Structure 1
Amino acid sequence: MSTQSAPTPMQLPSMNIDDIHDRVERIREAIESVIWGKPEVIRTALITLLCEGHLLIEDVPGVGKTKLARALASAIDATFHRIQFTPDLLPSDVTGVAIFDQQTRDFEFKPGAIFSHLVVGDEINRASPKTQSALLEAMEERQVTSDGTTYRLPSPFMVIATQNPIEMEGTYALPEAQRDRFLAQVAMGYPGLEAEMSMLDSHGSRDPLEELRPVCTIAEVAAMIQTVRKAFVADGIRKYVVELAGYTRAHDAVKLGASPRASLQLLRAAKTAATLDGRDYVLPDDVQELAATVWAHRLLMTTGTYSSRHSAETVINEALNSVPVPAPRR
């Protein structure tokens, strides 16, 4: 198997916590000019971006799932592709395909829509499981393999997938392996009264996305990612995360608990949350804030009367209430 050489690394600017806070505020304000009344959803999207993770947004049509992704891409000047998942979409439509060139008498790889900094998989659960699985390698290893050749994806790389509630017509459940590759899952929800009235007033005569200009560069995003990784995590916090994961795995209502990947991604998210709050170290509060957002979509519940009273969020809250919180260092 051959590997296509990675592009020359970009020159990253120097970045500290104050610089990150300034740029994240600019990005947040830019997105909020398009998405009204959803500060927690926007915060989760920014945390996911700086963790080099992927975001799953589940909600009914028309609440701004795709618009959030487009606003984020525009704000950071990222290359952007949108993939509309349908039952007849093929894996090669996502990843790309090798086409025979009559002139060179050789096969030439034509990259698919996945080759962008930010990829929106719209209504991902309307495609067949085979097509959904085309994202697995790209999301985990940030590469695509075709006919024995591996092609590197741009960096940073983020998938924002939207899905309709599973009970809606024409949907397929995402496989466990795919759900585990999403760092976080959020629901947009309907806007509040004032937010929806403001949206009707501002969006009725114009599209704010057309006026949104980049407030940050891809190089700056990459530098922020590097800085976030350096946040300090005490051994007690690491043990806390592992014990929380162990609680979910041993719970009677859970068939499949939090994986080691889930533990790693929760710790990464906690590092990012700490940095956004102006700290270079992680607190138990950072873990507790994000546990349900990062883990709930990964837990596979058992069937039966007992488990029907337990949702994934309930199990995670039980874990947070049961596992001892590490004492602060003196």
Structure 2
Amino acid sequence: MEPSFIHHETVLAGLKEIFNGKTKESVTIFDPSIKTMLCLIPLTENGITLLEGIMGIGKGVSTRAIQKVFFKDQKIGLLQCDPDKRQEESLYETAVTSNTHYNYDKSGQLTNTQQEYDFDPRAMDFVTQPIKFVNEANRASKSLQDTLLRLFQEQELEYKGKIFRSPNPSITIFDQNPVHMQNDGRRLEPALEDRIDVKIPMCAPSLFTIIATQTIKTSDKTAAELPSLLSYVQMTEIYEDIRKVHIKSEDIYLLSAITQLFFACKHRRDIANEIYNENINCKACSFDNGLCAHVKYPIGQRFIESILKFSKTKAWLEKRDTVSIDDIMFIMPYALNHRITLQPETMSKYVDAHTWIVEYAIPKVEQQKQHCLDILSKYQQAIAKPASSIIEEMFKYSRQNMLYLNTLIDILRIYANTSTRDLEDVMSILETQPKDDDFQLLEQRIKSSQTFAMPTDKKPDIQVICDTLSTMVPMRNYEKILSNRESIETLLKKYNERKEKTFKFDKEVFSKQVFPEFVNLGTTKNKTNIQESLTTDVSFTMLSTTITITHQNDIVMVNLKSEKPDSMTKITSILEDIPAYA
């Protein structure tokens, strides 16, 4: 189903009002990339955005403008973070009602009074409103951040036995000043930070930006207020329409491969302890992909979802029904900059992670993009149509490129599992005593499978891989493939040595390929029978094997019988190379 671009013109008009500085409530943004990202905020369903920058550069103003133009019937759910406030104080309020009970004796005289209090907890607007604003987010206490994490995960909170549900869809905007500019500031908890889809660094305005902004704000000709153009109901229609924007599977594969350039490492940094990680010597590594040495730790995979989510919004805003790889590359720095921890040496050379990604990482990614496409292609070929040549190429390139090496290791794992299934299939089918043509099909299928595509002379190469990665897993998978392969070959050979076999050929194939072979193998004694076999059902003996040939319309059946299976080997080896009747 294609997007209809419902309310598209109204959205464009609203964004123009907000970010072109036409009213006193609007925001002046001269950086086109930042402006584009800010335009995506109200349109991204359940998007969570962090605006970071110094005080007074429009973070709160942007949020209020978005609410007024796009959510005219809803309030901003404000969460003012304070390290001294408990989560109960920040998210809930309690309405207290008092009831007085008067007790009388039988004569009607008042004996006593009893006071009862009813506590009714209620969620504040931050929980119940579809547009949420977390002010000075990094000042929030750990308990409050943990509660926010639950809210974003489950779309609801429980307090004093009551469930408070957040509207779905919604948008959430965090803002914070740079951590080093606050006495009580700190980084957000890693789990909550990873829930934030994108971080937009909002730089301090230049001199001429300030002049332009103040000119607009102080002019008597500037309109005082922004217009209210869309309601929450209309925004939900837009979100539903944006869901219809397509993302090509090949672009998702490419994005997944590209992002691995940041984290591909021969060491298991994701499970390594801190001391081990600190002592990894990236400068001595032979696998130089250009990026991984700058990144201290790997991260989770949620950022891929964030990139795709905002890429769909960008495509819709530009009135396209399909996300492009350019959309993905545009969103990538904003989805990664708050999640990546750079090495100290790299951090000392760049203002922040966002600048490093834009100025250094993205150009490197562009250089490696063709390698990523090649890796994906080889992987798909190796899985879909196994060929030893593809595996040989993977071994060749994996000596210097970590992505090729990781892909080869994945292929080894998949082939090991497949070879086990192949062995089970062969054992199961042979137990049923298949017919000769069924056996031939089984043999063809197995010998063209992943089990037989793996070269048998790669133990030295696998050992190098194991030494490089300090793990024997690749060798175990390789040995499993070879062991299963040997077992399959033994089973096929043993079953192939039966005392009777039948082959089925097309009449033309029999006359052009089978008959000449019988003529070459035959003797003067059975020459006449061989000649008659072209048109007549015959039976004769050759190489201690009784050969019976029968004709059924356009099919010729060749049955071999011998008490000495070894004596049939020469004939069967010839017939097995000739295409059987399908």
For residues 52-106 of structure 1, the C-alpha deviation after alignment (integer angstroms, 9 at most, x for no partner) is 2111011111111111111111111132132322221221233325666555976
Matching of residue 183 in structure 1 with residue 166 in structure 2: no
What whole-Å deviation, never above 9, does each CA across 1:127-156 have from its counterpart, x for those lacking one? Answer: 333323332122333222224543211233
Q: Which residue of 2 aligns with 1:145?
A: 158
Aligned equivalent of 2:319: 278
Correspondence for 1:60 = 54
Residues 259, 24 of structure 1: alpha-carbon distance in 2 compared, 3 angstrom cutoff: farther
CA distance in 2, matches of 1:154, 1:133: 19
State the distance in 1 between where 2:338 and 2:135 align.
Answer: 18
Aligned to 1:267: 308
Alignment of 1:32-181 (within 5 A): 32=19, 33=22, 34-38=26-30, 39-51=32-44, 52-76=46-70, 77=72, 78-96=74-92, 102=98, 107-114=119-126, 115-170=128-183, 171-181=185-195
C-alpha contact 2:54 2:204 (8 A) present in aligned 1: no
* SS of equivalent to 1:211: coil
CA distance in 1, matches of 2:155, 2:244: 21
**Larger helix proportion, structure 1 or 2?**
2
CA distance in 2, matches of 1:66, 1:139: 21
Aligned to 2:330: 289
In structure 1, give the amino acid aligned to 2:13: R
AA aligned opposite 2:16: E
Kept after mapping to 1: 8 A contact 2:130/2:171: yes
Q: Does the aligned pair in 2 maintain the 1:237–1:326 contact within 8 Å? A: no
1:33-58 CA-partner distances (Å, limit 9, x unpaired): 31013454343133233222111011
Deviates more, 1:98-107 or 1:47-56: 98-107
| Equivalent residues of 2:136, 2:174 under 8 A apart | yes
Taking the TM superposition and a 5 Å limit, the aligned residue runs for 1:211-290 are 211-250=225-264, 251-290=292-331
Distance 1:111 1:283 in 2: 41
Note if contact 2:132-2:173 (Cα within 8 Å) is conserved in structure 1.
Answer: yes
Q: Give, in angstroms, the shift of residue 201 of structure 1.
A: 2.4
Deviation track 1:104-129 (CA, whole Å, cap 9, x = no partner) reads: 97652211241212122111112333
Distance change (3 Å), C-alpha of 1:211 and 1:307? closer
1:26 corresponding residue in structure 2 = 13
Deviates more, 1:29-38 or 1:60-69: 29-38
Partners of 1:128 and 1:172 within 8 A in 2: no
Instruction: Say if 2:92 and 2:122, in contact at 8 Å, map to a contact too.
Output: yes
Conservation of the 8 A alpha-carbon contact between 1:129 and 1:172: no
**Partner SS state of residue 158, structure 2:** strand
Which piece of structure 1 moves more, 69-78 or 315-324? 315-324
How far apart are the structure 1 equivalents of 2:200 and 2:323? 22
Equivalent residue, structure 2, for 1:9: none
Task: Give the 3 Å change call, closer, same or farther, for CA 84–155 of structure 1 in structure 2.
Answer: same
Give, in whole Å, the separation in 1 of the partners of 2:160 and 2:366: 46
CA distance in 1, matches of 2:15, 2:296: 38
DSSP 3-state at the match of 2:261: helix
- CA distance in structure 1 between the aligned counterparts of 2:170 and 2:321, rounded to whole angstroms: 24
The runs of 5 or more residues in structure 2 that have no matched partner are 100-115, 265-291, 375-582
Contact kept? 1:58, 1:186, Cα under 8 Å: yes
- Structure 2 counterpart SS, 1:167: helix
Q: Distance in 1 between matches of 2:240 and 2:75?
A: 20
Which amino acid is 1:66 matched to? G
Greater relative contact order (CA < 8 Å, ≥ 6 in sequence): 1
1:79 and 1:40, CA in 2 relative to 1: closer, same or farther beyond 3 A? farther
Larger mean Cα displacement after TM superposition, 218-227 or 254-263: 254-263
Match of 2:263, SS state, is helix
Query: For 1:72 and 1:188, how far apart are their aligned partners in 2?
Result: 17
User: Structure 1 residues 150, 248: closer, same or farther in 2, change over 3 A?
Assistant: farther
Equivalent residues of 1:258, 1:295 under 8 A apart: no
Q: What one-letter code is carried by the residue in structure 1 that aligns with 2:134?
A: G
Q: 1:268 to 1:284 in 2, by over 3 A?
A: same
Cα drift, residue 194 of structure 1: 4.1
Q: Which secondary structure state, in structure 2, belongs to the residue aligned with residue 120 of structure 1?
A: strand
Structure 1 residues 271 and 295: alpha-carbon distance in aligned structure 2, compared to 1, 3 A threshold:
same
Could you tell me whether the CA contact under 8 Å between 1:241 and 1:267 is conserved in 2? no
Residue 199 of structure 2 aligns with an amino acid whose one-letter code is Q
Identity level (%): 21
Which AA in structure 1 matches 2:148?
L
Alignment length (residue pairs): 312
Distance 1:174 1:193, change over 3 A: same
Q: Which stretch shifts more, 50-59 or 191-200? A: 191-200
Write the distance in 1 (CA, Å) between the matches of 2:311 and 2:346: 32
